[in-house]
Every structure is written in C-alpha cells, then in structure tokens.
Amino acid sequence: MSATESSASTTSMLQENRLFPPPAEFAKDAHISSLEQYEQLHQRSIDEPEAFWAEVAEGLHWFKKWEKVLDWDLPDAKWFVGGQTNLAYNCLDRQIDDGLGDKVALVFEGELVDDNGQPEVVKYTYAELKREVCRFANVLKAQGVRKGDVVTIYMGMIPQLAIAMLACARIGAPHAIIFGGFSAQAICDRVEDGKSKIVVTADGSWRRGKPVPLKKNVDDALEMTKLVEKVIVYQRCKNDVTMKDGRDQWWHDLEKDASDDCPAEPMDSEDLAFILYTSGSTGKPKGIMHTTGGYLVHTTMTSKYTFDLKPDDPDEMYWCTADIGWITGHSYIVYGILPNRVPTLMYEGGPNFPAEDRFWDIIERHKVTKFYTAPTAIRTFMKWGDEHIDKHDLSSLKLLGTVGEPINPEAWMWYREKIGGNRCPIVDTWWQTETGGHMLTPMPGATPTTPGSCCRPMLGIDAAVVNSEGEEVGTNEGGILVIRKPWPSMLRGIYGDRQRFIETYWEKVPGMYCPADGARKDENGNFWITGRIDDVILVAGHNIGTMEVESALVSHDSVAEAAVVGFPHEVKGNGVAAYVILRVPMPAPGSDDAKALQKELIQHVGKELGPVAKPDQVRLTEALPKTRSGKIMRRLLRDIAAGNDITSDTSTLEDRTIVDKLVAQGG
C-alpha cells in the first residue's frame, strides 16, 4: 500500500493543483451557474442568516409559521421557533397537494435477479407511498406508539424501511435506525440507550444472494434487554424465523385492516425527529439528536443545490448508494430528496451481485442522472477493473457525488473519467452525522474543483480553519476545522448525555462547533480535510471508535489489554489494527495456535460490534510500547501496522525492545 493513496489528504494533495471548471453544458442550466453567483449568495447567507434561512423555509409546508427564525444560546440552537411542520407531509402530501400525486417518488430495485437476469423493480408514486406510510403509521398507533416514543428500526434496504421511517415522522415518533450490518450487541446497546419499547425489523435482508438474519439478531439482542415489548417483522426473504408469542407480529398481519388515512401530526420545529448513533472517541456510541423544522429546511435546500435537482426534468433520476442506516441515507435518500420532487432510487443489495457490474447495470437500466457514492466504493471499482464499466452505457449521468472520507486524487480522476465520461461535475461533500446535511461542497455548476478538495462552504455555513484559540490560520496552514455560526440541521445534543455533547463539540475550540477534523484552506479558498483529530478511524467511510474496538477485545476471555489504531488501507482508506496482550500464555507468533486465536478475536469483534469494525490485523504481544509516564505510543503502533520504518523518536519509550519484537514478528 503506497503512502500516497491512503494519506491522500496529507501527501498527494500537497502537489495537487489541477483545477476543473464546471462543465459549461452543466453550468448553463444549473441553479447556481457561476462562482460570482455562489459567492454573492454565500456572503448574503452569512451576513443575514435569518433572512436567508427564512426564505428557504418559506418554500416548504408549515402548519403554523415560525415566530422567530433563530434562538441561539451557545451551544443550544432553536430554529423556526414556534413553527409547526411535519417531515412526512413535506416528503409526500405537499407534492400531492400540488397535483404531483402520480409522479414517481421512489424506485426500488431488489438484489436477486430472475433466470433472465431481471431484478425485482417496484415504483411508488407520491400518492402510493403516502398510502403505505399512512397504513403503517396506523399500525404503529394501534400498537400503542404515541408522539415522542422512540421506535427502533433495524431493516435492510427495502421500501418498507423508508415507509417505516416516514410513518414514524408522520405520527411524531422519533425513529432510531440501526444499520442492518450491526450485531445483536449493538442493537441491545441502542435500544437501552434510547429506552425504546418497540422494534421494527424484517426476517432477513438480501446480501450477495443470501439472507442476512435480521430477525435472529433482534432475538439475540432482546435476550440481553427486557425493555422491548413489541417487535414488528416484515417478511422479505422468507428465511426461517422464530416468532415469540405476545411480542412478535408480522407486518402483513397487522396491516390487514389498517386504514390508509392518517393525518400528519403537526410537529413543533424543535420536536425530536430522530436519533442516530455514531461512534465517538470514547467507548459508547453517541445518540445524535436531530429535530424537525431545521433538519427539513437544511436537507431540502442542500439536496437541491449540491445535486442541482431538477423537478421539472422528466429524466431526472437520483441514486445514492448509501444505506439508510447511516445519516447519508436519512438525509439524501429520504428526507432531503423527496421534498425536491425527483425520484429517489433505492437498491437493496451488494455491488457485486450477481456480478461486479451491478451498479453500472442499475445506472444504465434506470438512466440515473445524479449518482452519489463513497470513495471506498470507488476504490473498490477501480480494483475490479474497467471492463465491468465498459460494458455499460453510462451516458445518462450528469453529476457525481462522493461522501464519507477524503477522496484521493487518483480515485477522483478515475471517477471523473471512467464513470463521468469527463463531462460530469464531481461534488465531494464534507459533513457528518452531527451536521445533518452538507457543510462543505462544490456547487456543481459554479465551483472549479480540484481532486481531493471538498471546496467551499455550503450556503449559510460559516466554516473556517483555526488554531486551538479559534484564530484563523494562514493559507495552506494546517489547523482545526470549525463552524462558527449555527445552522438549521445541527445536532441538538447527544441523547441522554448533555455533558458529553458540550465536551465533544463545544470545548475544543471555545465558542465554535468543532467536528474533530483537521483541515487547511488553499489559495483558491478551497478546503482540504486532512484527517480526524480524535480517536475515530474512518474505515470505508464509517466511524469506528478505537475505544469501542478495544472494549470489545477486552470482553473476550483470553484478552487482558488491547490497543487499537488505524493504518492506511488501499480500498477502505483506513484499516483497523489491534495489538493484544493475553491473559493466557501467548502462542508462538505465526503458529497455528496464534492464527486460530487471531481469527477468533476478529470474529469476536465482528460479533460484538458488527462486521464493519472487524480488525484487519491482530498482533499478539507481551507488552505495548509505552512512554515512561505509561501512555501507549499509538504513533508507533500505526507505523508498525502500516509496515513503515520506525523513524519517529522513540527516546521516551520505556522499553524499546517491545517495538523491535513487534516489527520482527510481522503482521
């Protein structure tokens, strides 16, 4: 693995100065069609934020208009105070009210294909989707769910996931969606944290031709907690499941008599819309809270401008490949896209089923115009080879997006050439679960882009690179990325943990929101993200807390102590390396016993946290390199995992021979 690829953010970007102006053909019809226009709009949004955001909000439906745009008492923001709205109403009813009930809102493609290679495709118009949402909302009500009750959803990428979330939004029950790749332990922890009494799940979810046993995972989780009283199960894969009497019920049974009429609950702007868990630098995942009005306004506005969505263009077909279990899916498959009146495509399964060209096949068949994916996926496609792409006609594409981690310039160029045919602008969007929506991104018809840079602040966003005192650093100087003014979709807190909210985001740089990303700003005013400044590892674009993995390892009977670090990985951006001290006698390095134990520990972490967190390397060791004051020298562990020469200063080490042994032992 070359250093250039993984640390795109630090190495290659230094020489990266290619500048691609927005394609003229695209700029011509874009919502924002020149850099001057963007700069004017942005300046005004910073000078008069309340007027700016009020104008955006006016384009949406409110049961009751707000009295005050912003109430800001750092770190607490209230947006559109006194206003009442509903996310589901704005996603569905508003379109129907305007005569667009028969327009396609959601296109679903299942993973399995029939003997002729044809997949299951289901299309929902706004009217059809609303009916489904209302029916399920009535089911939830009949099960006793009331406004304010947290509903846990653990499903695969099927329309019923979107339907369940919109049903929650419709009746004002905050959802807590758990990514379908998470394990029983993760479900249990989240259910307990959110004090959720009801879980919506499915029997299974198709992944590479096999059902992921979702219901089984829920059953295992509910062995560990007594909180959940009801489980609703959607039948997708018809895999074997056990239904527990008095607790578990089939979705289709409950829906039999459900009415498809359910008025949307007027929600106060600041009513909780959902909780979504994200990993932090300390052990426990954080339940990020998003509220209703501001989240709706911000995600709808950013969807429109970042993807230049065109509701009047009958060919518009938007596809985001993220899972709805992550914030990207919440904001840019469902809540931000549906109010924009363009079809949103949802794909159930893996990118290599039945073959490595599945995504390109989907783009060709559905004539996708706007495509949003992650750098780790792009690097995987590069590795699989261009022949899978060359088979397909991708000429429908007009815009490409990326999100989740810094994109290395090589992958950016490949994306532009091979997928975008050199005619599509690329929007590299920087944001977080906590920010709710896009924060830094090019405007596709306006901003000249450089491979690897996420360019400029979104309208309404006041971003800067500062030192720890909050003073702006010079051009091209590294510093801390901060957001200096509140924005509508900002997190309102960490569920049940006020202190952690303040410490994590508001104390690193006093008075400013600190996302814990390093950054620099270049001479063109473009931002470059240089990597996390906390103990979070971005693995394939997913946040993995080193402490979480360490705790999972230590929960294994044979493990006494563990230290976890990230290291550069060709496809995933970063890999996870674990250094483990055993409670039991250490098997000889490289022996079968050692290998078996390493494998077992990897599986153990997978079971505790889910497959995404599985370490790529497990190194058994007698001791960890510590300073004389007892601090683990993680920098050294990173170098060893990456296979780098140990060039950094080791003079503060208590015992240098530990490092030598680890290097000699190999990965």
Counting contacts by CB under 6 A, is residue 537 touching ligand WT7?
no
Judged by CB under 6 A, the residue of 5, 16, 405, 535 near ligand WT7 is: 405
Instruction: Return the closest-CA partner of residue 401 out of 323, 345, 322.
Output: 322
Counting contacts by CB under 6 A, is residue 53 touching ligand WT7?
no
The residues near 274 (Cβ < 8 Å, ≥ 6 apart) are: 165, 168, 169, 174, 175, 176, 177, 289, 290, 330
The one segment of 65-73, 321-329, 351-359, 601-609 that binds ligand WT7 by CB under 6 A = 321-329
Q: What is the Cα–Cα distance from 222 to 246, expressed in whole angstroms?
A: 14
For 61-183, where are the alpha helices, taking DSSP H only?
A: 87-88, 94-97, 126-142, 159-171
Instruction: Return the closest-CA partner of residue 608 out of 201, 239, 244, 224.
Output: 224
Counting contacts by CB under 6 A, is residue 429 touching ligand WT7?
yes
Task: Compute the least distance from the CB of residue 3 to ligand WT7, in Å.
Answer: 18
Counting contacts by CB under 6 A, is residue 278 touching ligand WT7?
yes
Task: Compute the least distance from the CB of residue 406 to ligand WT7, in Å.
Answer: 4
Strand partners, 345: 107, 319
Tell me which H or E stretch contains 252. helix 251-255
The residues near 523 (Cβ < 8 Å, ≥ 6 apart) are: 475, 476
Q: Which of 107, 481 has the CB closer to ligand WT7? A: 481
Residue nearest to ligand WT7 (CB): 433
Q: Which of 251, 326 has the CB closer to ligand WT7? A: 326
The one segment of 118-126, 197-205, 397-405, 603-611 that binds ligand WT7 by CB under 6 A = 397-405
Task: Compute the least distance from the CB of residue 532 to ligand WT7, in Å.
Answer: 5
Counting contacts by CB under 6 A, is residue 403 touching ligand WT7?
yes
Q: What is the Cα–Cα distance from 108 to 112, expressed in whole angstroms?
A: 12
Q: Write out the binding residues for ligand WT7, residues 81-140 only, by CB under 6 A.
A: none
The one segment of 80-88, 206-214, 292-300, 402-410 that binds ligand WT7 by CB under 6 A = 402-410
Residue 653 DSSP label:
B
Binders of ligand WT7: how many residues, by CB under 6 A?
22
Are 180 and 154 within 8 A, CB to CB?
A: yes
Counting contacts by CB under 6 A, is residue 543 touching ligand WT7?
yes
Kindly write out the interface string for residues 444-473 of this chain, putting x where it contacts ligand WT7 by CB under 6 A and - elsewhere.
----------x-------------------
Rounded to a whole number of angstroms, the distance between the first and last alpha carbons of the chain is 14
Task: Compute the least distance from the CB of residue 374 to ligand WT7, in Å.
Answer: 8
Kindly write out the interface string for residues 499-518 of this chain, putting x where it contacts ligand WT7 by CB under 6 A and - elsewhere.
----------------x-x-
Counting contacts by CB under 6 A, is residue 299 touching ligand WT7?
no
The one segment of 140-148, 149-157, 399-407, 592-600 that binds ligand WT7 by CB under 6 A = 399-407
Task: Compute the least distance from the CB of residue 99 to ligand WT7, in Å.
Answer: 34
Judged by CB under 6 A, the residue of 139, 231, 538, 662 near ligand WT7 is: 538
Instruction: Return the closest-CA partner of residue 632 out of 579, 566, 572.
Output: 579
Q: Which of 83, 329 has the CB closer to ligand WT7? A: 329
> Beta-strand (E) ranges in 157-285?
175-177, 198-202, 205-207, 210-212, 230-234, 248-250, 267-268, 272-278
Tell me which H or E stretch contains 536. strand 536-539
Tell me which H or E stretch contains 40. helix 35-47
Task: Compute the least distance from the CB of residue 438 to ligand WT7, in Å.
Answer: 8
Query: Which pair of tokens denotes residue 546?
Result: 């080193």
Are 191 and 178 within 8 A, CB to CB?
A: no
Interface with ligand WT7 by CB under 6 A: which residues? 278, 326-328, 403-406, 428-433, 454, 515, 517, 529, 532, 538, 541, 543
